[in-house]
Amino acid sequence: MTITTLPPTPLHHGHRVLMKGNEAMAEAAIRAGCDAYFGYPITPQAELLEWMARRMPEEGRPFIQAESELGAINMALGAAATGARVLVSSSSPGISLMAEAMSYMAGAEIPMVLVNVMRGGPGLGGIGPGQADYFQATKGHGHGDYRVPVLAPSSIGEAMALMADAFELAEKYRTPVFILADGTLGQAMEPVELTFREPPRLGADWAVTGAGGRPPRVVKSMHLAPEDLELHNRHLQAKFAEITAREVRWAGENLDGAELVIVAYGTAARVARTAISRAREDALQVGLFRPISLWPFPSAALAEVAARARGVLVVEMSAGQMVEDVRLAIEGRQPVAFEGRTGGMVPTPGEVLDALRRLRGATGADDAASAKETRA
Amino acid sequence: MTITTLPPTPLHHGHRVLMKGNEAMAEAAIRAGCDAYFGYPITPQAELLEWMARRMPEEGRPFIQAESELGAINMALGAAATGARVLVSSSSPGISLMAEAMSYMAGAEIPMVLVNVMRGGPGLGGIGPGQADYFQATKGHGHGDYRVPVLAPSSIGEAMALMADAFELAEKYRTPVFILADGTLGQAMEPVELTFREPPRLGADWAVTGAGGRPPRVVKSMHLAPEDLELHNRHLQAKFAEITAREVRWAGENLDGAELVIVAYGTAARVARTAISRAREDALQVGLFRPISLWPFPSAALAEVAARARGVLVVEMSAGQMVEDVRLAIEGRQPVAFEGRTGGMVPTPGEVLDALRRLRGATGADDAASAKETRA
Amino acid sequence: MERSVIFAGFGGQGLLFAGQVLARAAMDSDREVLWIPTYGPEMRGGTAACTVIVGDVPIGSPVVDAAWAAVVLNPPSLAKFAPLVAPGGTLVVNATLIEAGSGRDDLDELRVPCTRLAREAGDDRLVSVAALGALVGRTGIVGPDAITAALRAILGRKHPEALEADLAVFEGGLAFGRAVLATATP
Amino acid sequence: MERSVIFAGFGGQGLLFAGQVLARAAMDSDREVLWIPTYGPEMRGGTAACTVIVGDVPIGSPVVDAAWAAVVLNPPSLAKFAPLVAPGGTLVVNATLIEAGSGRDDLDELRVPCTRLAREAGDDRLVSVAALGALVGRTGIVGPDAITAALRAILGRKHPEALEADLAVFEGGLAFGRAVLATATP
Amino acid sequence: MTTETPKGARVIFERPELLADRSTHYCPGCGHGVVHRLIAEVLGDLGLGARTIAVAPVGCAVFAYDYIGVDFVEAPHGRAPAVATGIRRVRPDAFVLTYQGDGDLAAIGTAEIIHAAGRGELLTAVFVNNGIYGMTGGQMAPTTLLGQRSTSSPGGREAAFHGYPIPMTEMLAIMPGVAYAARGSVVDAAAIGRTKQYLRRACEIQLEGRGFAIVEVISNCPVGWGMTPTESIERLRDVVAKEYRPGVIVDRTREA
Amino acid sequence: MTTETPKGARVIFERPELLADRSTHYCPGCGHGVVHRLIAEVLGDLGLGARTIAVAPVGCAVFAYDYIGVDFVEAPHGRAPAVATGIRRVRPDAFVLTYQGDGDLAAIGTAEIIHAAGRGELLTAVFVNNGIYGMTGGQMAPTTLLGQRSTSSPGGREAAFHGYPIPMTEMLAIMPGVAYAARGSVVDAAAIGRTKQYLRRACEIQLEGRGFAIVEVISNCPVGWGMTPTESIERLRDVVAKEYRPGVIVDRTREA
Amino acid sequence: MIAVAEGSLALPGAELPAPAGPAPETWIPLHIATDRCKACALCIGACAHGALALDETCVNALGYHPIRLVDPAACTSCALCARVCPDCVLTVFAAPKATRGAAR
Amino acid sequence: MIAVAEGSLALPGAELPAPAGPAPETWIPLHIATDRCKACALCIGACAHGALALDETCVNALGYHPIRLVDPAACTSCALCARVCPDCVLTVFAAPKATRGAAR
Ligand SMILES: Cc1ncc(C[n+]2csc(CCOP(=O)(O)OP(=O)(O)O)c2C)c(N)n1
Ligand SMILES: Cc1ncc(C[n+]2csc(CCOP(=O)(O)OP(=O)(O)O)c2C)c(N)n1
Ligand code: SF4
Ligand code: SF4
Ligand code: SF4
Ligand code: SF4
Ligand code: SF4
Ligand code: SF4
Ligand SMILES: [Mg+2]
Ligand SMILES: [Mg+2]
């Protein structure tokens, strides 16, 4: 069901146009200097691939619809190993097939940006929007000790801006970076100000380019001797610590004097925003804490914000995944409640409002309990 | 480097023999009534596949060395969809390739047992023992909202016993089950009492067997309408809640009067045990809390045990993964410290002892801080 | 204040297009807007729908508890979406294909022979444009000129040949919507 | 009390086998035991090693901070493992291939011409069995009869042809280990 | 709705029993509907409905289980041959059939089909090649012809940039494990009749235990091709069938 | 250790410059060593060392990057052709070479090699077929011969149970994107010489921009085969080479 | 609320109205599952006798103008239409002896 | 501590001792990187003149009895041995005019 952004390219910097999320992300990547795109069709991200299929050749840059997600992610591994700026996109089932290669890239420290336009799972599930790949993106996708930065836009404009940031992060820290969007963001159209940004090229003194005039380089993740592999892991952990210290991103709204705080990202955060404005009508002061970097998770900031509120409501389009990171940040000091829909359903503002009312009604103790229930 | 258990089969019930972990797990599966095995070679689990290659034909049961881990896990999906008792085994990188199919099986509620003989990562990493796939097994392997029971043996004998339990759990709850072992357990030999158990057959009234005499059945994970998929997710979540309520497993040692508690599983728990006995020598009372089901995690039991101690030390052969579940269980009520080695290295009893001494020395506050550091 | 409109009907009736025209018109009228389809796998003959939310501040929730208006172009859509319109909201019904009514007396319900108007203009796909005209004429959610401008902007480049018919059908729908308004006044 | 022995040398020297024989002997002597190889990809010529831990209660840690004894059959193994032996521990050195000593004066260090003994018995692989004999003769970690029984149990079924040579080499190593003990006495 | 025969009249053609009496989700004119009917007819003719376990692909035909009245397993995208292998090995007496599209079989599922065929698994594989990714919106498939436009080859497929179409069935046919490989089409009633014969033979071969059997059916995707159903059938006949020539590609059960 | 030429003497044979002067981790007699040397010789002869980006497999040859002195990327198991495709597309002026074993290329990597070949990627693929999974301990490979014992086919490979050996290079050769496909061996100095010629041609074809080129080299795995190196070479000559016949399989650059 | 009475076209529900042309009692060689027809027109092309056409006068439950046997007399019951129909809309009967003559 | 003095075999380090047979100053057509030899014996089979053999008298750093040119005079510098050696242990030289005669 391809509806193409109107008007078609060229899209002039500074203009305000109505763009489809998938297509806006694709164009933003091109303008951010994406040297190559590799992908495989899957709903609800197909338009991102299709946009690239038309635009990359126009720009004289490689585009390949690979034989599979395995093919796409490994083409990306090879291209990125040469220092190229590479984008890959897919949706939930396809992302699962990329677990091994993501672990390889994290291990070999290969920068690359991977967009997951999440849909409802598990399995083939459905094609409606979802946020149930949070655990996968932030924790256990591939094997081994590694983390990758995960950026979660909640508007099409933000998705475009984060695309450039994602490439910058990837190259600065030599790591794959996830952009975690969902079907709603991918399929919706919004007016966006076209403000493109191409991050500076840092120069990859590690990349394979042909050994001419220098000793050969190897881009690899294997370190057969456990002693060596542990050293490498220490290096990676130090890098993750640095990212955690420096690259936390989040946005707050109405947090001053907020009685309750909603923690939500992406599309769920938009629903929360509407619920919050309605809550004001019945004199309930609610703030929004919106993590933008899901890893590193803004734990310290959240702990501080939550300390000033009576309770926290986590809203997700899942059965409750980010809620674990929220609880790790708050460590029982405030009650944490959860409201979520699954399988392609999006919570409505009304449902969130009800959850806020319940949370206000409940005592801290009750809430803590109900929060636990949500994890049962 | 195939060293085969001596003496070779037949292995009589009741006998005490010296067996290699990989081979013991394979034989235990056969005796538990495993109807089919599908695998792909990878160190350090190759001997499990090789044992099956010899024994399954002896038993007149199917064995296939698939073209890949994707092939193996999907053959398992098909065989298990008919109600057969199916085993698959691999090691870290191969397990990553099974993420999509595991999500499908969780979604379609197909019982199956998957053994991960963990090695050092990330990427190709190394072949030494590791425990860095904890997040993957317990949280984010595949896409979508699902969990699968994860059983972690810490001796070869226990691995054999858990094999039968795993099949039983899988069929009782119609879910894939992980057995999370590591290279040490797979490669080591220990004397084991051969006590085999074949769980009863429950009869699969959902399985595809040919529709003769009844309406056709479909084993699937797709529910295109979000409303339907959400209903299915509610059903799955209810099942996960039931498993969490009923199937928590853990073992405790010297917990009474323990000043400090070590939380560790698998091989790390064995190292902890030795460290604990040494600690007694310098009058340090330390207990061992050993989760056997990593999901469902024994949160309530741990919270209770920890409440009686001054501090908790988590020991893992990783950069710290289970430590998150420990902190979720304890929610800041006691200091949580972490000691781990990575990349195929195994912590020594001496290192663990030092960590215990540091934890005793430190004040609760310091420890909480240091615990945080370990997550940085 | 946010105004949400659901467009629903057969896949072939051009709903997504009409929704985009409205969204484009809203944007060009300096309003904030969000267009979101209920996307699905390639199935013709099924019921398709999209929602357009127009507001003064950036749109928050892409889902609405109740719609400000709905345009239903086939019987299944009436059944599914009429109940989702907020009390006092507007319901545009394609009278050509739908005999039944919503049965709600708290709606401003318009029966518009959209398919006929469209077919008469020679293109079934324009059925949604006719309905859009009626909606605009009835509610003034955006100015008619904004719609015609949007149609020119969108079709002008890609399908100039189609433009005239679209404009004609829109005008027809618009007049229809306004006429209804007139009869309603006294 | 736990006793750990490291066997290390060239891949072809039969270390894993010798370790298994010791493990089997320990088990049959109603001890608890754990055998663990340092497993690696197929590389010949590299250094291979295994550890055997014998105790009275089920073995805890598969790794040891310091070994109770080590059997090193080639120069790299001496360099790598001699430092890991606990003070007062035993070090069996294959004098045929290793000229250097450990340089430690807190060890009971035996120089045994293992390769020669083995080669004389016609099979390089038995070099480890000779060393095992010396270890057992020197330390009595298990009874000699347990070892010969284990050799019979293991080889009897799979390689009866090899059994006699193994037994002979073991006896040779055993005598050597005991002899050393004797010379040590006065 | 069931149809009762007017008195005295003879039934020349009617819906096969194994085909559900309901509207499908397929687009107007889509060949999947014809292939579904042929499978239902053949399974019915051979009396296999009761012992068939079929494997559905990920593609427009994922819903085959809603239309063909036999047990079904839904395979992950491209893995149907592996899933079917698992079924085959534990259910020796089942009749196992796979149904795949060209993206499913010739792209992501390449390894699985080749190795199932290489093992000579006793499977009957139905491969509906419409030269496009229908379900996801008309992207290029490995079988898309040179010059053909798709939503991911908007300027038409170019060998140098997109690569050549892959002759999947011909590649499979060279493996000794493949007992039978044929290519049919849905261009007209006669071709549909021949396709049915191929399918029937591919089923008999499994029953005879002769090896792996595959029938490729070149089909249309009016929506993905951006044509009317009639135009798409003309293209199938005049263009596609010239590249992917229908006929029996290999029959090792006939070889000496 | 470097070797200086005795005064007055002419060098008949010496280690090629691009081959590291160090001991390899390969088992005694392993054919990987010979293939490594040939690659180093050919890249040297063609002066490609400076612009070559090679892709290492997962297999015993994963360490190729320790021995052949060019830039290397380590691919996940079986994915070398995809990795190389990515390199190829962003580095048009690089010389891109892949090195894979039979488990890597013909099992888990089946889809990647077929589609890289189908796209006609400008790659030179070296496929070392030793009919076994060497690195993991001698398990059966797709190329293992019928009757051959391995740690995962202890009774010998049986067609009915394990399937047939897969003629991978022959399958690849039928695709139009494949400009050149040949099979060499390491049975003796003469065969090694021919193999070098094949490798050289496969490299030239990439330089000429003619398409995808692959050289399969049937090789030995004494350890995996449970033989002495000498016995393994005899088996390679007397048994393996009879099934996988050396020679040029297709050369589309010679065709009219 | 306002109900605007508009002379809207007569609409069938899921049921196709009795076909025009031959009166009900005459012999009809085709049974048409009108509600499942998607108007792809492939059957029209398959019919050598031009006996079929889409019925522009109505729209079925799927939103299409369904197929109609416009010239029953021309129909030879060859079933080519039914064999090419992707939606198995058509059931074909051979005329009973009596009527067959009559149809000619 | 006890040091048991045992007459252990003489051992080369990474360096192969000067080969026996021909005296050092005589011409040697092969250079052997002894430390890299894995004693696979493939070169022995390749040599038509039986000029090569494994040296059982010593063990190299890898633990093998390395190859040795036992009959330099028989060597024709054909390099077949070197071409089959998987470890590139052998470098082959053609004798300078003078010595060549002498070697005969
Ligand atoms: C792992 C994965 N990747 C991608 C998809 C999206 N997807 C669904 S169907 C399909 C391909 C359909 O093409 P084809 O197999 O030719 O079937 P058709 O619809 O044309 O009949 C794809 C790529 C998916 N569901 N899972
Ligand atoms: C995903 C994954 N599966 C399995 C392995 C284990 N593995 C390492 S090498 C190898 C195959 C080696 O065989 P081949 O490709 O023939 O190379 P050879 O060692 O024989 O040269 C396997 C299965 C792995 N590293 N990664
Ligand atoms: S998209 Fe193509 S293949 Fe899919 S149903 Fe429509 S016509 Fe058929
Ligand atoms: S295992 Fe086989 S392939 Fe690997 S190095 Fe040894 S001989 Fe070579
Ligand atoms: S072929 Fe079938 S679906 Fe198409 S028009 Fe004819 S009857 Fe209708
Ligand atoms: S049965 Fe034959 S003659 Fe009659 S309508 Fe169908 S195609 Fe035409
Ligand atoms: S060069 Fe030729 S003659 Fe000399 S040793 Fe080598 S093979 Fe023998
Ligand atoms: S071939 Fe090479 S490695 Fe083998 S014995 Fe001869 S010199 Fe040594
Ligand atoms: Mg298709
Ligand atoms: Mg191999």
Q: What is the pLDDT of residue G5?
A: 35
Report residues whose beta carbon is within 6 angstroms of any ligand 2 atom.
B 40-42, 69, 93-94, 97; F 58-61, 77, 101-104, 128, 130, 132-136, 141, 221
- Average confidence (pLDDT) over F106-130: 98
Q: What is the pLDDT of residue H17?
A: 35
Could you report the per-residue pLDDT of D153-184, keeping only the tens digit for each? 999 877 888 899 999 999 999 999 998 754 43
Q: Is the pLDDT of residue C161 over 60?
A: yes
CA-only gyration radius of chain B, Å = 21
The two three-digit tokens of residue C35, written as one number: 């267009």
Q: Rounded CA gap, A354 and A352, in Å?
A: 5
Q: Is the pLDDT of residue A15 over 90?
A: no
Chains D and B touch (3+ CB pairs under 8 A): yes
Q: What is the pLDDT of residue A352?
A: 98
Helical segments of D29-86, H only: 75-81
Helical segments of B112-181, H only: 134-135, 156-173
The two three-digit tokens of residue B33, written as one number: 């009534």
Residue among H45, H62, H91 whose CB faces F15 most closely: H91
Q: Which stretches in chain B have pLDDT values below 70?
A: 1-10, 363-376
Could you report the per-residue pLDDT of B250-287, keeping only the tens digit for each? 999 999 999 999 999 999 999 999 999 999 998 999 99
- Average confidence (pLDDT) over D53-72: 97
DSSP bridge pairs for A19:
A190
Q: What is the pLDDT of residue D13?
A: 87
Q: What is the pLDDT of residue A65?
A: 98
DSSP state of B118: E
Using CB atoms and an 8 Å cut-off, which of residues 88-107 of chain E contact chain B?
A: 89-91, 94-95
Dihedral Cα D112, D115, D116, D119, nearest 10 deg: 150
Q: Is the CB of residue G52 below 6 angstroms from any atom belonging to ligand 6? A: yes
Q: Rounded CA gap, A177 and A186, in Å?
A: 18
- Average confidence (pLDDT) over F234-245: 98
Q: Is the pLDDT of residue G102 over 50?
A: no
- Average confidence (pLDDT) over A80-90: 98
Q: What is the pLDDT of residue D180?
A: 77
Could you report the per-residue pLDDT of C22-44, keeping only the tens digit for each? 999 999 999 999 999 987 543 54
Question: Mean pLDDT, chain D, as a whole number?
Answer: 90
Q: What is the pLDDT of residue H25?
A: 60
Chain E interface, best mutation among A9, A58, A68, by max E CB count within 10 A: A68
Q: Closest Cα of chain B to A252: distance in Å?
A: 23
Probe ligand 3: pick from E223, E230, E232, max atoms within 8 Å of CB? E223
Considering every ligand atom shown, identify the ligand nearest to the alpha carbon of residue F226 and give its number. 4
Q: Rounded CA gap, A203 and A218, in Å?
A: 17
Q: How many Cα atoms within 13 Å fall on the side-chain side of residue D28?
A: 21
Query: Quick one: pLDDT band at residue G27, thresholds 50, 70, 90?
Result: confident
Asked if B54 reaches chain F (Cβ–Cβ under 8 Å), the answer is: yes
Neighbours of chain F (3+ CB pairs under 8 A): A, B, D, E, H
Nearest residue (by CA) to ligand 4, atom 5, is F26
Q: Which of A279-288, D41-50, E190-199, F237-246 has the lowest mean pLDDT?
A: D41-50
> Counting one residue from C and one from G, how many pairs have CB atoms under 8 Å apart?
56
Closest chain F residue to the Cα of A214, Cα to Cα = F50
Q: What is the pLDDT of residue G97?
A: 67
CB contact under 8 A, C41 and E60: yes
Q: Closest Cα of chain H to F15: distance in Å?
A: 6
**In contact, B117 and B105? CB cutoff 8 Å:** no
Please report, rounded to a whole number, the percentage of residues in chain E having pLDDT higher than 90.
Answer: 95
**Chain D residues close to H9, C-beta within 8 Å:** 96, 115-116
Could you report the per-residue pLDDT of A357-373, keeping only the tens digit for each? 999 998 443 444 444 44
CA of E60 to the centre of ligand 1 (A): 8
Helical segments of G1-104, H only: 42-46, 80-84, 97-103
Q: What is the pLDDT of residue A276?
A: 98
Asked if E25 reaches chain C (Cβ–Cβ under 8 Å), the answer is: yes
Could you report the per-residue pLDDT of E109-153, keeping only the tens digit for each? 999 999 999 999 999 999 999 999 999 999 999 999 999 999 999
**In contact, A257 and A332? CB cutoff 8 Å:** no
Q: Rounded CA gap, F121 and A159, in Å?
A: 34
Burial class (CB in 10 A: 0-12, 13-18, 19+), F165: buried
Q: Is the pLDDT of residue E48 over 60?
A: yes
Q: Is the CB of residue G91 below 6 angstroms from any atom belonging to ligand 6? A: no
Q: Shortest CA distance to A302 belongs to which of A363, A258, A266?
A: A258
Query: Quick one: pLDDT band at residue A282, thresholds 50, 70, 90?
Result: confident
Q: Rounded CA gap, D52 and B188, in Å?
A: 10
Q: What is the 3-state secondary structure (H, E, C) of D83-121?
A: HHEEEEEEEEEECCCCCCCCCCCCCEEEEECHHHHHHHC
E strands, C20-117, are 32-37, 47-55, 67-72, 85-94, 108-112
Could you report the per-residue pLDDT of C88-118, keeping only the tens digit for each? 999 999 999 999 999 999 999 999 999 888 8
Chains E and H touch (3+ CB pairs under 8 A): no
Q: Which residue has the tokens 């399985």?
A: B207
Tens digit of pLDDT per residue, chain H (104 long)?
A: 333 333 333 333 322 233 344 455 677 899 999 999 999 999 999 999 999 999 998 889 888 999 999 999 999 999 999 999 999 999 999 977 655 444 44
DSSP state of A125: B
